[in-house]
């Protein structure tokens, strides 16, 4: 799962930084070297990365909820096991990403508090509901498909721990995308009710999936700097186009219709042309107005608060054991 940068234009950094250090850093990045946790880095680079990686981690964790909604209702044992393993993978991704962000000097606790207070964002896609089993197929196929488009370039992102986390994540996402498409294939080869479910899921998830790539390039305030720093490697619109080009033939292959009357192949460009995205909807969802945004945050906060006594107990127990060990020495 991936999230694009959802914050507004970042404040210019006010800290005076040694121009020689900045120049050396810029040269390393331009040379495609990895920046490691103990290396000097500009404060704005650090902040951008913390924001992006933590947002990505939050998306993985919140993203467990819409799919988790169907684990107990999966239609057979094989699908149940696959979905459980997939949602578990998303939790694992969240974990490595929180760890990668922690190398930049922010604790997991701080990041989780920022999520719960609404200060930190997560991908807008998870604020849409999963109504039928076909939504599990559509999420794997489209949402994880979009995630892969976003994440493959991030395996070469300039920050070493993030790039390395992304290598493993990409492998797993590719499996997720295939299992999602396979669910859709089964539905499309099935009964009239199943085909209806599949088409309806595509109808609802198509546009939100295109929105996952973030605002158009002419309205993406942080893209230029992120590309210069090799935090991002391709623009939102480039990635979105790539996604449309790959996904449309996949829909056609199983007899589904992409819900866009303006969609057509453009020979001259060698790409699909597609209709306008409803950016008002996107920004409303970013503001927290997605249909199930309240449910998602309530579930995360409740899990965290209900689990507080468990975390406290684990800590108290570890301290008791530590004290007993010291006393015995």
Residues near another protein (CB under 8 A) are 61, 64-65, 68, 71-81, 84-85, 87-88, 91-92, 94-95, 98, 133, 183, 186-187, 189-191, 193-194, 299, 302-304, 306-314, 316-317, 320
The nearest distance, CB 329 to another protein, in angstroms, is: 20
The nearest distance, CB 108 to another protein, in angstroms, is: 9
Give 24 or 313: the residue with its C-beta nearer to another protein.
313
The nearest distance, CB 255 to another protein, in angstroms, is: 16
The nearest distance, CB 133 to another protein, in angstroms, is: 6
Give 22 or 299: the residue with its C-beta nearer to another protein.
299
- Give me the sign of the Cα torsion angle 222, 225, 228, 231: negative
β-strands 271-273, 264-266 pairing: antiparallel
Give 110 or 225: the residue with its C-beta nearer to another protein.
110
**Which residues partner with 264 through β-bridges?**
273
Give 15 or 328: the residue with its C-beta nearer to another protein.
328
Question: Closest Cα partner for 85 from 93, 146, 98?
Answer: 93
The nearest distance, CB 105 to another protein, in angstroms, is: 20
The nearest distance, CB 104 to another protein, in angstroms, is: 19
- For 7, residues 6+ apart whose C-beta sits below 8 A from its C-beta are 51, 121, 222
The CA distances from residue 289 to 20, 117, 125, in Å, are 45, 15, 12
Give 245 or 295: the residue with its C-beta nearer to another protein.
295
Give 167 or 189: the residue with its C-beta nearer to another protein.
189
Give 55 or 235: the residue with its C-beta nearer to another protein.
55
The nearest distance, CB 250 to another protein, in angstroms, is: 19
**232 in Cβ contact with 226 (< 8 Å):** yes
CA 35 centroid distance within chain: 22
Both structure tokens of 246: 């790959």
Give 23 or 314: the residue with its C-beta nearer to another protein.
314
Overall residue count recorded for the chain in this entry: 329
Compute and round to an integer the Cα radius of gyration of the chain: 21
- For 328, residues 6+ apart whose C-beta sits below 8 A from its C-beta are none
The nearest distance, CB 58 to another protein, in angstroms, is: 12
Instruction: Provide DSSP, 199-256.
Output: HHHHHHHHHHHHHTT-S-GGG-TTHHHHHHTTS--S-HHHHHHHHHHHHHHHHHHTT-
Number of H helices, E strands in the chain: 14, 2
């Amino acid at each position: 799962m991936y999230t694009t940068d959802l914050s507004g234009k970042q404040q210019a950094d006010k800290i005076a930084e040694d121009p020689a250090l900045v120049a050396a850093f810029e040269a390393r990045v331009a040379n495609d070297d990895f920046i490691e946790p103990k290396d000097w880095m500009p404060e704005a680079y650090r902040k951008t990365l913390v924001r992006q990686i933590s947002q990505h981690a939050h998306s993985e964790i919140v993203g467990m909820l819409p799919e988790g909604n169907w684990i107990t209702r999966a239609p057979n044992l094989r699908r149940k096991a696959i979905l459980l393993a997939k949602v578990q993978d998303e939790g694992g991704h969240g974990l490595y990403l929180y760890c990668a962000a922690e190398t930049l000097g922010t604790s997991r606790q701080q990041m989780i508090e920022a999520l719960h207070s609404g200060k930190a964002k997560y991908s807008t896609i998870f604020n849409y509901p999963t109504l039928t089993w076909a939504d599990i197929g559509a999420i794997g196929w489209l949402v994880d498909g979009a995630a892969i488009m976003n994440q493959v370039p991030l395996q070469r992102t300039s920050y070493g721990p993030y790039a390395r986390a992304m290598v493993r994540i990409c492998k797993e996402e590719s499996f997720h995308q295939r299992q999602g498409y396979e669910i859709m294939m089964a539905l499309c080869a099935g009964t009239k009710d199943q085909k209806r479910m599949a088409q309806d899921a595509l109808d609802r998830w198509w546009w939100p999936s295109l929105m996952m790539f973030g605002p158009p390039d002419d309205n993406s305030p942080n893209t230029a700097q992120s590309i210069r720093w090799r935090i991002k490697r391709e623009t939102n619109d480039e990635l979105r186009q790539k996604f449309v080009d790959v996904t449309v033939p996949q829909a056609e292959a199983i007899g589904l219709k992409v819900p866009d009357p303006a969609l057509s192949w453009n020979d001259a460009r060698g790409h699909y042309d597609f209709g306008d995205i409803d950016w008002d909807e996107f920004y409303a969802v970013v503001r927290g107005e997605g249909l199930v945004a309240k449910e998602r945050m309530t579930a995360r906060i409740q899990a965290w608060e209900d689990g507080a006594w468990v975390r406290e107990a684990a800590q108290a127990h570890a301290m008791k054991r530590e004290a007993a060990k010291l006393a015995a020495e």
